[in-house]
């Protein structure tokens, strides 16, 4: 299976003359590592394993790997292009003739994570124009390790059938509402050294799918870790060595040394590692010998996919990679499907990177499609909210949790789909409803800045903040897991909490007004600064006099503002929140009221027609009416869309206080407070 070479000249000579079924040369790799991987040899070619659609080989112009790249190009019959810098990658792709596989040779330090991001960006520009190829990187700390990665890739199709086609090692999850494919699944409680050790180090796995907390050098399981080096390894660079290199103990004090799982002992052909900083192209937090990706690649792994940054933790990415491989895609195309989805959905960065030959095909079992495939070019803009709505749409269509994947023509081919439709909009009001609730919470929070305080105001605010945070976490989590039901439950809970908060605000306004002469505008005038007044049409609806408009703004929080219309006779006839959905409030009815009678008052409300339907709370009262013998109904909830008129009946006691009063009507909508006022006279019969 392998031929060990003494020096570079011998290695390059053997690589140049490589025969299809002959041994593959390696340079300077210990015999124990060769033997461990050679033990997987089946003695025959298990699958086609050949490159599909041609390959373009690229290498930095002054790289020590240039000879290796040239030798491989000669052996496989593919052109080799040198790059003066990573910025030339896009032009090289253009000259590749639509090659299916883009293979880049580079030692650690020759390409940075920034270069990889730029190369992926350049590739994506061409994918949007119809390019369908994928990218793989042959990299490592030195030529010997790169030769080892190349050799494992070239002999991958000779390996015997795996003991386990797929093992899912997902210690970052307690449960999964939906997952596809057969094979062992280890969640947080299952990820103990005793339970997973056999599958990782004793059994041969075609694909190991990892979803775990981690960093450059470690993956965290339940009662153990997977690390690249471990205690007993002398520090290669004292300033960049993990603590175990000095103490001989794991930094997680409860883990004994013998329980640690070494990454190079994991017997997997292909790894997809969805973990923070799971891939490095050179020194990161620690020196190269301690890096997790390099540890796995020192073992039997022929391909490794990871991300060189902090990830958001979206398990759907593992499902996309797995389904692409179950559909017969190469590891390069499966990685492309993950990145293309992230380009559209924008729930994480689209720079998952493959270390290995992009044309390898994992020996996973074929299966029925399990993802809801959507055309990314015809879907709504990315982000958590849009992704959450798509998840809800797909769940409504299938009546069960499901993962939605956004695709380009390239990734649809990787997933074995000929086409994909735009997502059906089965939850069209959800984005508007969520944003309406957000505006309501903002508005409710502004009352205190206007000087209006009432019982439980602080508790209500804390509860709303907690529920908002819970909904946001649930949306991102449900996008990851496909569990749309959790979004619906959290959204319903938040809607009820906002409705209750608006009701309590309306009740507080009504309660304050009916028991005192302190008006809402008396409070905010002590806080807000006035702007100039201007004559404003229409004239006063009660007496026909000219009205004047005036704006008031908060001096510290200028987003908080009020727009008023005042009449010299009737006072402030309209007082609206400047940023709210209410555009008009007025009161109609008789100006003279009589003791012992009932009077109908109509509250006329206008709202922004573009803001859609919304619940609102309304109330009407005269100042200090509870003590003056005039009663009004409790606040009531209405549905408001466009304009609405509501008639409310006031009841006057036979001994009601006979005097000139001010009648006030208010609307609480989207958390904002809006008032109308007019004078009335109470007279004896």
Q: Which pLDDT value is given to residue 48?
A: 44
Q: Residue 650 in contact with residue 602, Cβ under 8 Å?
A: no
Share of the chain above pLDDT 90, in %: 72
Is residue 25 pLDDT above 80, yes or no? yes
Q: Are 166 and 153 part of one and the same domain?
A: no
Which among 232-241, 357-366, 383-392, 422-431 has the top mean pLDDT? 357-366
Q: Are 62 and 197 part of one and the same domain?
A: no
Q: Residue 652 in contact with residue 593, Cβ under 8 Å?
A: yes
Q: How many CB atoms sit inside 10 A of residue 185's CB?
A: 16
Q: Which pLDDT value is given to residue 43?
A: 75
**CA 612/CA 537 separation, integer angstroms:** 26
| Cα distance from N-terminal residue to C-terminal residue, the chain | 111
Indicate the pLDDT class of residue 609, thresholds 50, 70 and 90: confident
DSSP assignment of 113-133: HHHHHHHHHHHHHHHTTT---
| H-helix or E-strand spanning residue 631 | strand 630-631
Number of helices (H), then strands (E), belonging to the chain: the values are: 18, 31
Q: Residue 342 in contact with residue 382, Cβ under 8 Å?
A: no
Instruction: From 58, 68, 62, 59, select the one nearest 10 (Cα to Cα).
Output: 68
Q: Are 169 and 150 part of one and the same domain?
A: no
> What burial letters (b/e) apply to 136-159, b meaning 16+ CB within 10 Å?
bbbbbbebbbbbbbbbbbbbbbbb
Indicate the pLDDT class of residue 555, thresholds 50, 70 and 90: very high
**Tokens describing residue 449:** 């800045």
Q: Residue 149 in contact with residue 165, Cβ under 8 Å?
A: no
Pairing mode, if any, of strands 571-577 and 672-683? Answer: antiparallel
Mean pLDDT of 645-660: 96
The domain total for the chain is 3
Mean pLDDT of 199-209: 93
Q: How many residues comprise the chain?
A: 685
Q: Which pLDDT value is given to residue 282?
A: 78
**CA 634/CA 216 separation, integer angstroms:** 62
**Tokens describing residue 515:** 């028991």
Per-residue pLDDT tens over the stretch 111-158: 998 999 999 999 999 999 999 999 999 999 999 999 999 999 999 999
Per-residue pLDDT tens over the stretch 480-532: 888 888 888 999 999 999 999 999 999 999 999 999 999 999 999 999 999 99
The answer to whether position 252 is within a domain reads yes
Indicate the pLDDT class of residue 579, thresholds 50, 70 and 90: very high
Mean pLDDT of 171-187: 88
Q: Are 173 and 120 part of one and the same domain?
A: no
Q: Which pLDDT value is given to residue 232?
A: 57
The answer to whether position 471 is within a domain reads no
Q: Residue 476 in contact with residue 345, Cβ under 8 Å?
A: no
Indicate the pLDDT class of residue 432, thresholds 50, 70 and 90: confident
Is residue 311 pLDDT above 50, yes or no? yes
Q: Are 383 and 520 part of one and the same domain?
A: no
**CA 236/CA 290 separation, integer angstroms:** 9
Q: Are 126 and 200 part of one and the same domain?
A: no
Mean pLDDT of 319-332: 94
Is residue 566 pLDDT above 60, yes or no? yes
Q: Which pLDDT value is given to residue 637?
A: 97
**CA 625/CA 452 separation, integer angstroms:** 20
Q: State the CATH number of the domain containing residue 551.
A: 2.60.40.10
Q: Which pLDDT value is given to residue 218?
A: 92
**CA 187/CA 158 separation, integer angstroms:** 32
Per-residue pLDDT tens over the stretch 433-481: 888 899 999 999 999 999 999 999 999 999 999 999 999 999 888 888 8
The answer to whether position 478 is within a domain reads no
Q: Which residue has the tokens 């390696």?
A: 26
Is residue 51 pLDDT above 70, yes or no? no
> What burial letters (b/e) apply to 413-439, b meaning 16+ CB within 10 Å?
bbbebeebeebeeebeebeebbebbbb
The answer to whether position 439 is within a domain reads no
Q: Are 195 and 51 part of one and the same domain?
A: no
- Dihedral sign (CA 449, 452, 457, 461): negative
**CA 244/CA 232 separation, integer angstroms:** 8
Q: State the CATH number of the domain containing residue 123.
A: 3.40.50
Q: Which pLDDT value is given to residue 26?
A: 96
The answer to whether position 537 is within a domain reads yes
The answer to whether position 89 is within a domain reads yes
The domain boundary residue, chosen from 415, 435, 461: 415
The answer to whether position 422 is within a domain reads no
Per-residue pLDDT tens over the stretch 330-368: 999 999 999 999 999 998 999 999 999 999 999 898 877
Largest CA distance in the chain: 118
Q: Which pLDDT value is given to residue 253?
A: 86
Exposed/middle/buried for residue 160 (C-beta within 10 Å: 0-12, 13-18, 19+): middle
**CA 460/CA 444 separation, integer angstroms:** 9
Pairing mode, if any, of strands 101-107 and 80-83? Answer: unpaired
Average pLDDT score over the chain: 91
Pairing mode, if any, of strands 134-140 and 101-107? Answer: parallel
Q: Which pLDDT value is given to residue 423?
A: 53
Is residue 237 pLDDT above 70, yes or no? no
Query: Residue 17 is part of which domain span?
Result: 2-157
Helical packing angle, 457-481 and 484-515, nearest 10° = 170
Q: Are 189 and 97 part of one and the same domain?
A: no
Helical packing angle, 66-76 and 143-154, nearest 10° = 20
Q: Which pLDDT value is given to residue 231?
A: 59
The domain boundary residue, chosen from 157, 186, 221: 157
> What burial letters (b/e) apply to 593-630, b meaning 16+ CB within 10 Å?
bbbebebebebbbbbeeebbebbbbbbbbbbbbeebbb
Pairing mode, if any, of strands 2-5 and 24-27? Answer: parallel
Q: Are 575 and 651 part of one and the same domain?
A: yes
Indicate the pLDDT class of residue 428, thresholds 50, 70 and 90: low
Indicate the pLDDT class of residue 238, thresholds 50, 70 and 90: low
The answer to whether position 601 is within a domain reads yes
For residue 580, CA distances in Å to 147, 238, 559, 562, 668 come to 66, 60, 11, 10, 10
Residue 170, C-beta contacts closer than 8 angstroms, at least 6 positions apart: 176, 185, 186, 187, 188, 191, 209, 210, 211, 212, 315, 318
| Dihedral, 265, 266, 271, 276 alpha carbons, nearest 10 | -80
Q: Residue 281 in contact with residue 355, Cβ under 8 Å?
A: no
DSSP 41: B
Q: Which pLDDT value is given to residue 52?
A: 61
Q: Are 98 and 239 part of one and the same domain?
A: no
**CA 441/CA 468 separation, integer angstroms:** 9
Exposed/middle/buried for residue 368 (C-beta within 10 Å: 0-12, 13-18, 19+): exposed
DSSP 4: E
**Cis amide bond preceding 348, omega within 30:** no
Is residue 50 pLDDT above 90, yes or no? no
φ and ψ at 609, to 5 degrees?
-65, -25
Q: Residue 509 in contact with residue 673, Cβ under 8 Å?
A: yes
| H-helix or E-strand spanning residue 220 | strand 218-220
Q: Are 243 and 228 part of one and the same domain?
A: yes
pTM for the predicted model, two decimal places: 0.86
The domain boundary residue, chosen from 97, 126, 157: 157
Q: Are 185 and 146 part of one and the same domain?
A: no
Exposed/middle/buried for residue 538 (C-beta within 10 Å: 0-12, 13-18, 19+): exposed
Is residue 49 pLDDT above 70, yes or no? no
């Amino acid at each position: 299976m392998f031929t060990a070479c003494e020096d570079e000249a011998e290695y390059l000579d053997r690589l140049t003359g490589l025969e299809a079924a002959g041994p593959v040369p390696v340079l300077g790799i210990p015999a124990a590592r060769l033997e461990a991987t050679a033990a997987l040899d089946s003695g025959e070619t298990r699958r086609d394993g050949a490159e599909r659609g041609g390959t373009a080989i690229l290498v930095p112009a002054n790289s020590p790997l240039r000879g290796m790249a040239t030798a491989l190009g000669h052996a496989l019959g593919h052109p080799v292009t040198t790059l003066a810098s990573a910025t030339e990658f896009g032009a090289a792709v253009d000259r590749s003739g639509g090659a299916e596989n883009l293979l880049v040779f580079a030692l650690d330090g020759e390409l940075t994570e920034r270069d990889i991001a730029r190369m992926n960006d350049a590739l994506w520009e061409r994918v949007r124009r119809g390019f369908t190829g994928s990218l793989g990187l042959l990299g490592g700390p030195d030529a010997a390790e790169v030769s080892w990665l190349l050799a494992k890739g070239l002999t991958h199709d000779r390996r015997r059938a795996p003991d386990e086609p797929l093992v899912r090692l997902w210690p970052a999850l307690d449960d999964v509402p939906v997952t596809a494919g057969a094979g062992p699944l280890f969640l947080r409680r299952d990820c103990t050294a005793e339970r997973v050790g056999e599958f990782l180090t004793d059994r041969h796995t075609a694909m190991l799918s990892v979803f775990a907390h981690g960093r450059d050098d470690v993956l965290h399981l339940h009662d153990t870790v997977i690390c690249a080096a471990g205690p007993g390894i002398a520090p290669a660079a004292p300033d960049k060595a993990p603590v175990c290199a000095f103490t001989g103990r794991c930094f997680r004090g409860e883990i004994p040394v013998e329980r640690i799982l070494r990454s190079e002992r994991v017997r997997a052909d292909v790894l997809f590692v969805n973990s923070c900083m799971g891939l490095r192209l050179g020194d990161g937090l620690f020196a190269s010998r301690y890096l997790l990706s390099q540890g796995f690649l020192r073992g039997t792994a022929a391909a490794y996919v990871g991300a060189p940054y902090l990830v958001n933790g979206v398990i759907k990415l593992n499902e996309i990679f797995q389904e692409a491989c179950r559909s017969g895609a190469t590891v390069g195309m499966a990685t492309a499907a993950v990145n293309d989805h992230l380009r559209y959905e924008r729930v994480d960065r689209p720079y998952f990177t493959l270390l290995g030959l992009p044309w390898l095909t994992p020996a996973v079992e074929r299966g029925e499609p399990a993802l809801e495939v959507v055309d990314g070019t015809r879907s709504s803009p990315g982000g958590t909210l849009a992704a959450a709505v798509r998840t809800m749409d797909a769940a409504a269509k299938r009546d069960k949790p499901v993962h939605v994947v956004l695709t380009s023509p390239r990734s649809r081919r990787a997933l074995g789909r000929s086409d994909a439709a735009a997502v059906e909009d089965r939850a069209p009001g959800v984005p508007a409803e969520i944003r309406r609730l957000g505006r309501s919470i903002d508005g409710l929070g502004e009352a205190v800045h206007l000087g209006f305080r009432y019982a439980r105001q602080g508790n209500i605010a804390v509860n709303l903040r907690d529920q908002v945070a819970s909904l946001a976490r649930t949306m991102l989590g449900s996008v990851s897991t496909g569990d749309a039901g959790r979004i619906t439950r959290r959204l319903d809970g938040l809607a009820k909490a906002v409705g209750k908060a608006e009701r309590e605000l309306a009740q507080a306004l009504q309660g304050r007004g009916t028991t005192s002469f302190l008006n809402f505008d008396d409070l905010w005038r002590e806080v807000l600064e006035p702007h100039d007044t201007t004559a404003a049409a229409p004239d006063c609806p009660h007496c026909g006099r000219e009205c004047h408009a005036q704006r008031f703004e908060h001096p510290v929080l200028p987003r908080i503002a009020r727009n008023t219309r005042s009449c010299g006779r009737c006072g402030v006839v309209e007082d609206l929140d400047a940023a709210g959905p209410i555009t008009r409030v007025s009161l109609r009815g008789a100006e003279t009221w009589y003791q012992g009678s009932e009077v109908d008052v109509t509250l006329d409300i206008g709202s922004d027609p573009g803001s859609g339907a919304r619940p609102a709370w309304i109330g009407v009262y005269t100042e200090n009416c509870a003590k003056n013998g005039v009663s009004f109904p409790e606040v009531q909830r209405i549905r408001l869309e466009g304009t609405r008129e509501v008639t409310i009946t006031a009841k006057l006691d036979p001994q009601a206080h006979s005097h000139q009063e001010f009648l006030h009507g208010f609307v609480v909508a989207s958390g904002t407070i809006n008032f109308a006022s007019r004078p009335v006279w109470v007279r004896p019969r």
